[in-house]
């Protein structure tokens, strides 16, 4: 039994999972893509970010949790009260450089 998802067998075309509005440079994490997109287009909702990054498929849950983490860490500002009628909108935060990961050392 395979534990990895074979996208070729999932019925989801590869083009639908590629970021659309930003040009990836090397390997960037989803958080980096969101950070970059919000800095270029402030005021986007989680749904708008998901659609912009992944197309119609959206992957909104991944974007939601990543936006909320970036907000807690100070990378994004969040405006609004949340919920279906009043979704949060995101703006660049105070922190522009991500801190080193836990255990990171310079020798």
pLDDT in tens, 24-82: 444 578 999 999 999 999 999 999 999 999 888 768 889 999 999 999 999 999 999 98
CATH of the domain at 59: 1.10.10
Q: Is residue 53 part of a domain?
A: yes
pLDDT band of 99, cuts 50, 70, 90: low
pTM of the model: 0.63
Find the domain containing 32 and state its range.
26-92
Q: Is residue 36 part of a domain?
A: yes
Q: Is residue 83 part of a domain?
A: yes
Q: Is residue 75 part of a domain?
A: yes
Q: Is residue 44 part of a domain?
A: yes
Q: Is residue 48 part of a domain?
A: yes
Note the Cα 70 to chain centre separation in Å: 9
> Number of structural domains, the chain?
1
């Amino acid at each position: 039994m395979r534990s990895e998802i074979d996208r070729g067998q999932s019925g989801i075309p590869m083009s639908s999972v590629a970021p659309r509005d930003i040009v990836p440079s090397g390997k960037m994490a989803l958080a980096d893509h969101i950070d970059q997109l919000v800095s270029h287009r402030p005021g986007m909702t989680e749904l708008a970010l998901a659609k912009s990054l992944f197309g119609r498929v959206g992957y909104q849950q991944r974007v939601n949790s990543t936006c909320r983490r970036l907000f807690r860490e100070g990378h994004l500002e969040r405006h609004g009260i949340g919920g279906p009628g009043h979704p949060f909108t995101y703006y660049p935060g105070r922190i522009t450089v991500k801190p080193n990961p836990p255990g990171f050392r310079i020798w």
